[in-house]
């Protein structure tokens, strides 16, 4: 009696949540809206358990509404009689198609109960891929940047769907940002690219994200000072002592610095 919207994570089958995996395994039918989401789902369900849905690549709203009504009509009988799952890359509620399906079901099939199983999204995965730490007190704004768009203003930006990297890059640099790009992060079977060089990403790709940050943004966390704020905290002294000992001068170093063993 339920449709579950299941977030698969960024594309690595190992990054699906335990609850997400269990939901897929127990569903009567798992509907996949595209090849990438299908490739992840097949790691956990048999082909006979999968249901395909076709969506047009268009911005025509009438055509899109027709497609979503057809998808809802396909899914509703399964969800009404048992359990269905609709999978998306990332998280179902973050820049996802799942919202269209939920709204369509609410309008035309209100008896279908809908639940969401969150997944690892690019919002969090990019930080690991880029080696970026979003510290306490930081402000981070999410925007789409398709077709050369470059929203600017906030000190830190995560831009999704960067399909024209050179044009977006030029605008961001002009606005004073340092920019790192990632393409197909954590996607099984695809090359992951992380770079600050826009010429490596001339080819358009929907699965490209950018992290833009203005220099000297925010405050350094307290622990960033470890190893530099004092010479007697066991960090710097220990390193210097180790170097002296390796050269055979450990005893002389301890005597000169007044350092105990």
Instruction: pLDDT band for 241, please (50, 70, 90 cuts).
Output: very low
pLDDT at position 97: 87
86, 20 contact by CB (below 8 A): no
For tokens 């996949």, the residue is: 32
Least confident among 3-17, 75-89, 182-196, 240-254 = 240-254
Model confidence pLDDT, tens digit, residues 142-193: 998 889 989 888 899 999 999 999 999 999 999 999 999 999 999 888 888 9
| Burial (0-12, 13-18, 19+ Cβ within 10 Å), 240 | middle
Model confidence pLDDT, tens digit, residues 27-82: 999 999 888 899 999 999 998 999 988 777 778 899 989 999 999 999 999 998 89
Least confident among 73-82, 104-113, 130-139, 174-183 = 130-139
Closest CA to 1 of 90, 110, 157, 100: 110
Q: What is the pTM of this model?
A: 0.78
pLDDT at position 88: 94
Instruction: pLDDT band for 253, please (50, 70, 90 cuts).
Output: very low
5, 86 contact by CB (below 8 A): yes
């Amino acid at each position: 009696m339920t449709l579950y919207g299941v977030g698969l994570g960024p594309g690595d089958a190992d990054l699906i949540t335990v609850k997400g995996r269990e939901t897929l395994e127990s569903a009567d039918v798992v509907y996949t809206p595209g090849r990438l989401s299908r490739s992840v789902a097949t790691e956990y369900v048999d082909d006979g358990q999968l249901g395909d849905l076709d969506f047009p690549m268009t911005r025509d709203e009438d055509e899109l509404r027709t497609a979503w009504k057809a998808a809802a009509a396909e899914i509703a009988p399964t969800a009404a009689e048992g359990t269905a799952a609709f999978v998306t890359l990332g998280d179902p509620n973050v820049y996802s198609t799942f919202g269209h399906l939920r709204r369509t079901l609410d309008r035309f099939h209100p008896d279908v109960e809908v639940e969401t199983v969150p997944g690892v999204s690019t919002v969090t995965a990019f930080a690991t891929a880029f080696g970026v730490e979003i510290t306490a007190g930081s402000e981070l704004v999410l925007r789409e940047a398709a077709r050369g768009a470059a929203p600017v203003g906030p000190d830190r930006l995560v831009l999704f769907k960067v399909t024209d990297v050179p044009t977006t890059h030029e605008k961001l640099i002009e606005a004073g940002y340092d920019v790192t790009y990632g393409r197909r992060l954590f996607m099984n079977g695809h090359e992951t690219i992380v770079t600050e060089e826009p010429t490596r990403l001339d080819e358009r790709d929907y699965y490209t994200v950018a992290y833009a940050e203005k220099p000297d943004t925010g405050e350094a966390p307290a622990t960033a000072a470890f190893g530099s704020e004092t010479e007697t905290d066991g960090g710097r002294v220990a390193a210097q002592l180790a170097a002296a000992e390796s050269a055979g001068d450990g005893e002389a170093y301890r005597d000169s610095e007044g350092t105990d063993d």
